[in-house]
Amino acid sequence: MILKTSAILLAAMAATPVLAEQPVPPNAPVVSPDGSLYRAFGGHDGVVKIMDDLFVNIEADPRIKPFFEPAKIPHIKEMLVLQVCAITGGGCTYTGKDMAKVHAQLGIQPSDFNALVEDLQKAMDSNHVPFAAQNRLLAALAPQSRVIIYKPSAADGAAATSQ
């Protein structure tokens, strides 16, 4: 019995690093399983265009431009396209990293998070996404503020735990 338990524990320990390498899906729900919202965003081409426009807006936005390392922008765009496609029912699966991990060291303030929302709203406006459709996407993304916005206490706690 003890041997059997140990074997399971060992197997679990061996498996853990592999699991940790697996992409963790964002905690955003699929809000339009029938894909109607994806179509309101113009499907794949529409979402790609919106993300291109988003980064044009970010480039012109001194509030949040410094957060984006130019070399990483193509990858970030690709991951955002996947996320929006997944949420809006386009049938994609998010394969990016855990949202909390990729934002943990950036020190993002609430006003920075909202600035990105505004730049995204402008991009959706210029691509004629209806207001109600925009809000369905934003409602799905909004709870990510909890892992994206910097929390001094949580970061301190994590640092203390790792020491």
Partner 1 sequence: MPRRLRPPIPLAVLSAALAVAAPSLGHAQSAMDNLSLSGKLLLTGGVNTVEGTAGGGLTPWAVTGGYGAANQLGGNIYATNVSTTDYRITSYGAVATAFDRVELSLSKQAFDTQDVGAALGLGKGYTINQTTAGVKVRLIGNTVYDQDSWLPQIAAGAQFKSNDKGSLVRALGARDSHGTDYYVSATKLFLAQDLLLNATVRETKANQFGILGFGGTDNRYHTQIEGSAAYLINRHVAIGAEVRTKPDNLAVAHEGTAYDAFVAIAPCKAFSVTLAWVDLGNIVTRRQTGFYASLQAGF
Residue closer to partner 1 (CB basis): 37 or 79 = 37
What counts of helices (H) and strands (E) characterise the chain?
9, 0
| Residue 143 makes contact with partner 1 by CB under 8 A | yes
| CB count in 10 Å sphere of residue 28 | 19
Residue carrying the six token digits 């894909």:
35
The interface with partner 1 within residues 3-32 (CB under 8 A) comprises 27, 29, 31
Provide the mask over 118-137, with x wherever binding to partner 1 is found by CB under 8 A and - wherever it is not: x--x---------xx--xx-
CB 85 within 8 A of CB 50: no
Structure tokens at 98: 């855990």
Q: Measured between alpha carbons, how far is 74 from 116 in angstroms, rounded to an integer?
A: 17
Q: Which stretch binds partner 1 (CB under 8 A): 74-82, 84-92, 97-105, 111-119?
A: 111-119
Which residues in this chain contact partner 1 in the complex, by CB under 8 A? 27, 29, 31, 63, 109-112, 114-115, 117-118, 121, 131-132, 135-136, 138-140, 142-143, 145-146, 152
